[in-house]
Amino acid sequence: MFFRNVVCLLIGLIVGVRLTDFWDYVKLQQLSNNLRENYTNTTHSLGLRLRLTQEDTLADYLFNNTRVLCWIMTMPENHLKRAVHIRNTWGKRCNKLLFMSTKADSFLDTVPLDVPEGRDYLWHKTRAAFKYVYEHHGDEADWFLKADDDSYFIMENLRSFLYQYSADAPVYFGCKFHPFVKQGYMSGGAGYVLSRAALRRFAEVSASNTSAACTQNQLSEDKEMGICLQNAGVVAGDARDAEGAERFHPLAPIHLIPVDTSEWYPLYLFYKRDKNLQCCSRSAISFHYIKPKEFYVLDYLLYELRPFGVANVADTLPGKANMTSLLERWKHEVSDNIFKDED
C-alpha cells in the first residue's frame, strides 16, 4: 500500500511538471507567432521612431549649444497685427525673444526704445535695439538675430547652419546684397544674425558716434548697418548652401515659387544666381512679407504635417569651420553680379 502511494505521488509530480512545461511552450509559441506577425510593422515603426528621436535630440542639443537671441523690429500698431503671431509660432524656438518697439506693451513685454517712430528712423531704432541687447543680454546667447515683424524663421535650420562657425569670430550672415557696400551687406527684410564678437564690435563702434564708422543718416537701415559693421571690422559671410542656393529670403515663398516674380531681387544679390537652381535652399532659414495667417500655415507644414511613408532622416551636423581662412576669403570677395548703378 505504501509503495503504491509513493508511485502515484511520483507519477503525479512528473505529470504536473510536464504539463507546466507544455503550458510554457504554448505561451512561447503564441509569443513567437505574434512577434512574427508584427515583425515588419514593428521594424519600420521602430526605425522611424529612432530617426525621429535622433532628430529631436539633435535639435535639443543645438538649442542648448548654439544659443540664439531673437529681437523683433515692430511698432505699436503692429503689436497685435503682426508681432503676436511670431510669439505664437517660430519665436517660441528662440533661446530668448525680445520685441523692440517705441511703446511699452505688457501683453508682448515689449522693450520701449527712445526713438521716434517711422520708416525714416529704422536705422536709429536698429542701433538702439542692438545697444540694449548688448548691455542687457550680451552674455545670454552666442548669436543675435534681428528680424522684422512679418518675417518667418526656421530656427532649427539657422542653428544647424551657425553650428560650424565660432561666435567669437567677427562675422554676420543673411541674404547678402552688393550695391553700395564694398564687402556687401545683409538684406534687412530677410533678417540677419550677428556673432557674439560682431555684436561687441558693433556696440563699441556705434557708441562712439563717429561719422566715419556709423553714420547718423536717416537712410536704409540694412545698408547703414552694413557700412557700420564693415567699418567695425565685422565680415559679411556667405550663408548659401553647398549648391549656391540662398537660405535667407527677403520675399515670401509665394513670390519665389515656382518662379521669382520680383524684378529687383536678382539684381541686388551679391552672388549671381544660377538660373538652373531652384529659388530656395532645402535648408532655408527665413522668408519675408509673411501674412498673419501664413505664420500658422508654415508652422503646421513644417512641424505637424507628416506624409505617410516618407521618413524624416536625421541630418548630421557640419564640421567646425576654419574661421581664419573663411573670414579672409569673405573679406576680399568681389560680387560677380553687376548692378546697373555700378557701371
pLDDT for 54 equals 54
Which is higher by pLDDT, 187 or 34? Answer: 187
* Each residue's pLDDT tens digit, 202-238: 999 987 765 567 877 767 899 999 999 999 999 999 9
Q: Are 166 and 324 in contact (CB under 8 A)?
A: no
Q: How confident is the model at residue 76 (pLDDT cuts 50, 70, 90)?
A: very high
pLDDT score at 135: 97
In this predicted model, what pLDDT tens digit does every residue of 296-332 receive, in sequence order?
Answer: 999 999 999 988 888 766 678 888 988 988 888 998 8
What are the cell numbers at 298?
508654415
The residue with greater pLDDT, 119 or 145, is 145
Across 157-186, average pLDDT: 95
Contact indicator for 268, 241 with CB cutoff of 8 Å: no
Domain ranges of the chain: 65-342
More confident position, 215 or 160: 160
pTM flag (> 0.85): no
For the ranges 55-59, 147-151, 294-298, 302-306, which has the lowest average pLDDT?
Answer: 55-59
Computed from CA positions of residues 28, 34, 39, 44, in that sequence, does the dihedral angle turn out positive or negative? negative
The confidence score (pLDDT) of residue 217 equals 72
Torsion of CA 334, 187, 193, 278, to 10 degrees: -80
CATH class of 65-342: alpha beta
Please report the pLDDT score of residue 1 as a whole number. 55
Full strand arrangement of the beta sheet holding 96-101: 111-112, 96-101, 68-73, 143-148, 192-195, 171-174, 235-236
Whether 25 shows a pLDDT value over 80: the answer reads no
DSSP string, 153-191: E-HHHHHHHHTTS-TTS-EEEESEE-TTSTT-EE-TTT-
Supply the mean pLDDT for the chain: 84
Structure-block grid coordinates of residue 19: 504539463
Alpha helices by DSSP H, 66-113: 84-88
Look at residue 24 and tell me whether its pLDDT is greater than 80: no
pLDDT reported for residue 28: 40
Task: Give which of 190, 223, 161, 222 is closest to 290, Cα–Cα.
Answer: 190
Band of residue 113 on the pLDDT scale cut at 50, 70, 90:
very high
DSSP symbol at 242: T
Please say if the pLDDT value at position 191 is more than 90: yes
Q: Does residue 254 contact residue 153 with C-beta atoms inside 8 Å? A: no
